[in-house]
Amino acid sequence: MRVLVTGGAGFIGSNLCRRLTAGDLAGIDEVVVLDDLSTGFVDNLDGVDVEIVEGSFLDPDALERAGRDVGAIVHLGARPSVPRSIADPVASHLANASGTVAVLELARQQDAHVIVASSSSVYGATETLPKTEDLPTRPMSPYAASKLATESYTNAYAHSYGMDTLAFRFFNVFGPYQAAGHAYAAVVPAFVDAALAGRPLTIHGDGTQSRDFTYVDTITEVIADAIARRVGSLDPVNLAFGSRTDLLGLIGELEGVLGHPVELEHEPSRVGDVPHSQADGTALRALFPDVQPVELTEGLTATVEWMRSTTASA
């Protein structure tokens, strides 16, 4: 089977490509990546046996070229970041909503199994913890609204056309190949990058805001299993296991991994950021009973080691 990964040169995508080409997954013969390299890097795929098509899934020709004869599509390509969407909501809509429809149309034409990346941000202002998939969705940013559109279109295509689809709600994924050093960097790479460089760690707010941090290898293991068994669901599924760590606790874990304290710098809270996030993993465990999540300390250790190696080789 030929598998298409959109956004495959990005953080989660490149890790997934490594997992899919590891050689132990029956039925996967080829992996093709479609990426416009707006946030991904070809270097992320060094040594990985994939075909790379440089282009956007919003470009019909590039999408058709990459999607020829595919049996499964993992749609990770998106315009990420809550602050980025607030700065340019139309671009987020086009990439995350319209782009998903284009990918779903390809999947419908190819009769392909399709997995899409949604986000825990769709819960937004809903205060209940942990977040179960049947809670109301109350997006607080254009990014969150666009990700709600992503999963809504996916489920609508499943109902309308009988397609095998699966929409995962990701919760604060972190790990190697996640970019740091830019205005929209996620919190874990931003913290690790600053700590390794001896700079203060910037906290937006008081640091009590909490997240369900999920190591990227856990994500890729679940997705690989979903492809291998053609797992589908007519409802979105949280892809996290119910842990919850506040930012001050995350910093404490990081200090333990580094072996020394770090300096902190507080700034005002950001518009669109939710105060707390935690998944209910019941539906995920029912679909993927054999997957065990990587613990936070183990994932942080691997992330620090990778970022140290990239700094040393730069």
Over residues 240-293, the pLDDT tens digits come to 999 999 999 999 999 999 999 999 999 998 887 888 999 999 999 999 999 999
Rounded Cα–Cα distance for residues 218 and 215 (Å) = 6
Confidence (pLDDT) at 312: 67
Contact indicator for 54, 7 with CB cutoff of 8 Å: no
Confidence (pLDDT) at 246: 97
Over residues 76-98, the pLDDT tens digits come to 999 998 889 999 999 999 999 99
Token pair in block for residue 299 = 């994932």
Write down the architecture of domain 2-174+215-242+280-294 according to CATH: 3-Layer(aba) Sandwich (3.40)
Confidence (pLDDT) at 125: 85
Contact indicator for 262, 255 with CB cutoff of 8 Å: yes
43 CB burial (10 A radius; 0-12, 13-18, 19+): exposed
Strands, sheet with 237-239, edge to edge from the N-terminal-most edge strand: 51-54, 30-35, 2-6, 72-75, 113-119, 165-170, 237-239
CA dihedral over 144, 158, 279, 201, signed as positive or negative: negative
| Torsion angle defined by CA atoms of residues 35, 40, 43 and 48, in that order, rounded to the nearest 10 degrees | -50
Token pair in block for residue 111 = 């009769």
Walk along the chain (314 residues) in steps of 10 and give the mean pLDDT of each run. 98 98 92 96 97 98 97 97 94 98 98 97 92 96 97 98 98 94 79 96 94 97 97 97 96 98 93 87 97 96 95 64
Confidence (pLDDT) at 311: 76
Kind of pairing between the strands at 165-170 and 237-239:
parallel
pTM above 0.75, yes or no: yes
Cα separations (Å) of 28 from 10, 11, 20, 31, 269? 21, 21, 7, 8, 44
Confidence (pLDDT) at 310: 87
Q: What DSSP designation does 131 have?
A: B
% of residues, the chain, pLDDT over 70: 97
